[in-house]
Amino acid sequence: MSAHPTAADMEALVALLDTSLDDMRLSDDEKRSLAIALRHAEPPEEGLRFLRNQAFALAHQRTRDGFDAPSVLRWLEGVMRALDVARTPAVGLRTEVCFSPGQDCLRAIQARLRDARQRADLCVFTLSDDRIAHEVIAAHARGVNLRFVTDNDKEFDAGSDVGRLRTAGVPIRVDRTDAHMHHKFALFDGLWLLNGSYNWTRSACDHNEENLVVTNQPQLVRQFQHQFDRLWDELGE
């Protein structure tokens, strides 16, 4: 997949700018959403210039329509700061690798769940490690937008925590086809990807030879996000 955003990506970003103007202020949540969307699209410098020009055009149109000029100016300043963040990412590109047996993989999963602020998309064949389930439910309780995809093969096994997540209100979609949904990956805030052989089970932590890659490489995050969104839509009722 190309590192450059598509025309649809840019249109979506412009629409996000327009929507954020509805209440004449760029809230903290809208700033975070814009920054995440910009990092996810990874627009080149000319794309940032285009978005900056679009923001000025939107602000000019609102003031011509009689909206409160100081409010529009504050919105515009917030957009400019978000664009500056997109030009110079707040964190550098990082990739780490964890292995089991041992708790390195578990701790990496727990850390990402605890750090999640807006959304987490989890796509795992099975979940029976209650330590991970606890962090998933805690993230959901503090308002993180969670989506959980799994397979029906292990859904009702002894020790499965899928029922706990469902009871807690976590949105869940299950692959009930004859084939297996055998992925083990997770995405956090559109910025981080966890992926590897590591099943989210105690046996994977304590006994199995497993691996887990943790990365914020935008191209990888974007490709896995497309895969998750496809599965979520296909498994929807």
Which residues participate in catalysis according to the annotation? 182, 184, 189
Residue 96 in tokens? 């780490």
Q: In angstroms, rounded to a whole number, what is the distance separating the alpha carbons of residues 35 and 227?
A: 22
Q: In angstroms, rounded to a whole number, what is the distance separating the alpha carbons of residues 67 and 75?
A: 12
Cβ partners under 8 Å of residue 154, min gap 6: 125, 126, 128, 160
Residue 44 in tokens? 């080149």
SS3 3: coil
CB 105 within 8 A of CB 86: no
